[in-house]
Amino acid sequence: MQELKSETYTTEIYDLDKRGSGRATVWRDTGQVNPKKLKLNIPQTIPGEKVRVTVDHPDRKWARVLADDILEASDERIDPACPHFERCGGCVWQHWSYQGQLKKKTEEVKRLLTEQGFDSGLVHDAIGMTDPWHYRNKMEFTFASDGRLGLHEQGNFREIIELKTCLIAGKEMVEAAMEVADWAKTHQLSGYNKEKHQGLLRHLMVRQSFQTGEVMLGLFATEAPDRELSKDLVERITTKFAFVKSLMWFENRDWADRTQAEQSHILAGRDYIYDEMLGYRYRLWFDTFFQTNPQQAEQLVKLALAMAKPKKSERMIDLFCGVGTFSLPFADQVKQLVGIEIVEKSIESAKRNAIDNAIDNTYFLAKDARRGIDQVLESIGAPELLLLDPPRSGAGGKVMRRIGRAQPSRIVYVSCNPETLATDLKELVPFGYQLLEVQPVDLFPHTVHVECVSQLVLKND
């Protein structure tokens, strides 16, 4: 069977997919009675734009292609600031004005809530950043098999784009990362080949406290550190970057492509750094979950406090509490707070953070959400206030129904995924809860992600 040659089409972007790429549809004349539908995903485009594209295999039902030309550009189109943008997968919307991005994120939250039967008027305009650059306090870079350091290519997880800069990471983080990249090049160290499962260097994790200035560098490799190689690395980093307070080497031989450690080695400094938020101090290890955009994270906490209206006479549950990001500010304003989190190491950190901040009215429980709620209800009874901040997958129907049966007077739901937020909130309606407001907050400029803080009350209260 002869393969079809490429075909060129002119089409209009009518929407975006979940990854932030433009969506378009063309109808191919195949010489038969009915034309054939071809769905296109076109990165770096904006709804309303007219584009020309070339499709290599037009006989398929779906294709992902780059635009050959933007025939009619959106008024919101701008020139990308980063030289790596067209290929790097770290950002997807640098071609879009920041106000345009915020408008789209607000519209998306409204659409998802409306689909679940809520009033879109309850959704406020997304809160953006004054300066939407260099906002990330944590980055995970990947080594290519030839030792180059960078991020994955857009739409191609196997290819690594070598970076000379990164405009969404803290500037000092990038400087330190580039020094590690130069060290790897100087010694001609191999990167990890995911297909052959060979090579030394896998990932470089960099995290920084924008409050204390402390930086952690974590190098993930398939072997223990070589004495001479690590000595040179320590000398380079400690001589040039006094703000690096933790230089770690992690052994990871697992085939799974993620930053995990079978054994850790402190090359210099300590195995954690200090961070601060709203006056509270936190210890962060390499695998500690902490909000990636500290400036906007403070907005989340302030919004949650304003919506929750905690009282000194009240008991409270902080569900999916992590290391206590929300727990500590809330504990100062309630009688008793119980934090529930399934990750035991996070619970240990939460306990330590409470001690470091002289907070003594908290109890942290290492349990899954549903069983944790049951245990807390048996021991202290129903709380007046409940806050939850689940992962992207959401809390789920069983957990939300358990919350509904517990009947806290007020619920504040902090979400990093408006799609699961909408479905989770719907579960509370039969239990007598009313959604009062939803405030989107942009923690990740130039990406599709948006966080939300939502307020619910029990109507008969």
Confidence at residue 289, expressed as pLDDT on a 0 to 100 scale: 86
Say what the pLDDT of residue 91 is: 93
- Does the pLDDT of residue 461 top 70, yes or no? no
Q: What percent of the chain has pLDDT over 90?
A: 85
For residue 32, is it within any domain?
Answer: yes
Do 53 and 11 contact (CB within 8 A), yes or no? yes
In three-state secondary structure terms, 182 is helix
Q: Which residue has the tokens 């408006």?
A: 418
Residue 1: what pLDDT?
45
Residues 6+ apart with CB under 8 A from 71: 10, 49, 50, 51, 52
Please state, in angstroms and rounded to a whole number, the distance separating the CA atoms of residues 251 and 249: 7
pLDDT for 120-129, tens place per residue?
999 999 999 9
Same-domain pairing of 47 and 107: no
Residue among 268, 272, 141, 247 nearest 202 (CA):
141
According to the model, what pLDDT value does residue 257 have?
72
Model pLDDT, residue 3? 56
Each residue's pLDDT tens digit, 146-171: 999 999 988 777 889 999 999 999 99
E strands of 298-426, at which residues? 315-319, 336-341, 362-366, 385-388, 410-415
Q: What is the domain range of residue 56?
A: 7-72
Sheet of 451-458, strand order: 362-366, 336-341, 315-319, 385-388, 410-415, 451-458, 433-441
What percentage of residues in the chain have a pLDDT greater than 70? Answer: 99
Q: CA 210 → CA 248, 252, 275, 445, distances in Å?
A: 20, 28, 8, 18
Check whether residue 267 and residue 363 sit in a common domain. no
Residues 308 and 412 in one domain: yes
At 356-409, the pLDDT tens digits run 999 999 999 999 999 999 999 998 888 999 999 999 999 999 999 999 999 999
In one letter, which amino acid is 121? G
Which amino acid is residue 248, in one-letter code?
Answer: M
CA distance 202 to 414: 33
Does residue 83 lie within any of the structural domains?
no
Does 48 share its domain with 185?
no
Number of domains in the chain: 3
How far apart are the C-alpha atoms of 152 and 281, rounded to whole Å?
33
What is the C-alpha separation between 137 and 151, in angstroms, rounded? 16
Task: Answer yes or no: is 286 within a domain.
Answer: no
- For residue 43, give both structure tokens: 């990165």
- Asked if residue 303 and residue 236 are part of one domain, the reply reads no
Q: What is the pLDDT of residues 406-427, one digit of tens each?
A: 999 999 999 999 999 999 999 9
- pLDDT-derived band of residue 4, with 50, 70 and 90 as boundaries? low
- State residue 265's pLDDT score: 97
Query: What is the Cα–Cα distance from 285 to 415, expressed in whole angstroms?
Result: 23
- Please indicate, yes or no, whether residues 395 and 450 belong to a single structural domain of this protein: yes
Residue 2: pLDDT over 70:
no
Q: Tell me, yes or no, whether 439 and 315 share the same domain.
A: yes
Residue 16 pLDDT level (bands cut at 50, 70, 90): very high
CA distance 337 to 112: 32
Please give the average per-residue pLDDT across 8-24, as a whole number.
Answer: 95
Residue 52 in tokens: 């020309």
Residue 275 CA, distance from chain mean position: 18
Q: Are residues 441 and 297 in the same domain?
A: yes
Q: What SS3 state is found at 70? A: strand
Where residue 187 sits, what CATH number does that domain have?
Answer: 2.40.50.1070
pLDDT at 259 over 50: yes
* Mean pLDDT (the chain, rounded): 94
Best CA proximity match to 421, nearest among 456, 398, 452: 452
Q: Is 416 a catalytic residue?
A: yes
Look at residue 30 in the predicted model and tell me its pLDDT: 75
Among the listed residues 88, 321, 416, 452, the single catalytic one is: 416
90 within domain boundaries: no
- The answer as to whether 97 is a domain residue is no
Span 207-231, pLDDT tens digits: 999 999 999 999 999 999 999 999 9
Q: At 325, which CATH number?
A: 3.40.50.150
